[in-house]
Amino acid sequence: MNIQIFGTKKSFDTKKAQRWFKERRIRFQFIDLKEKGMSKGELTSVMRAVGGIEGLIDPAAKDQDAVALITYLAESQKFDKLLENQQVLREPIVRNGRAATVGYDPDAWSRWE
């Protein structure tokens, strides 16, 4: 397994995800979205795994202007705007190769073991 956890240090769900993997002694790489955002390829891969852009956007994000803008843009423009405004992504984003989850989802992670 090659687990990557994308999130921020202050996110409660990201901390819970890290704890879940630590308790099972599963190695993971933590990527802080505030320091280093997701690349275009990473975001595309996660988007495919979760079934589209809507699954990636956190409707309760602090930057409600960016959420509204991305929600109402044309489909062809949503991805680029999301890539620019990664602060509206739901956290944590957990990747294992081509598989990925958004949000705290231990049921899905246990199927990866």
- Number of structural domains (the chain) is 1
Flag whether 68 is in a domain.
no
pTM over 0.95: no
Give exposure, 75-106, as e/b (b: 16+ Cβ within 10 Å): eeebbeebeebbbbbbbbbbbbeebbbbbbbe
User: What local confidence, expressed as pLDDT, does residue 68 receive?
Assistant: 92
Flag whether 61 is in a domain.
no
- The 10s digit of each residue's pLDDT in 28-85 is 999 999 999 899 999 999 999 998 898 899 998 899 999 999 889 988 899 999 999 9
Between CA 101 and CA 90 the distance in angstroms is 10
User: What local confidence, expressed as pLDDT, does residue 15 receive?
Assistant: 97
Q: In this structure, what CATH number is given to the domain that contains residue 27? A: 3.40.30.10
Between CA 55 and CA 57 the distance in angstroms is 6
- Categorize the per-residue pLDDT at 2 as very low, low, confident or very high, splitting at 50, 70 and 90: confident
Q: Is the per-residue pLDDT at 105 higher than 80?
A: yes
Range of the domain at 33: 3-56+90-112
Q: DSSP states of 81-110 as a string?
A: HHHH-GGGB-S-EEEETTEEEES--HHHHH
User: What local confidence, expressed as pLDDT, does residue 10 receive?
Assistant: 92
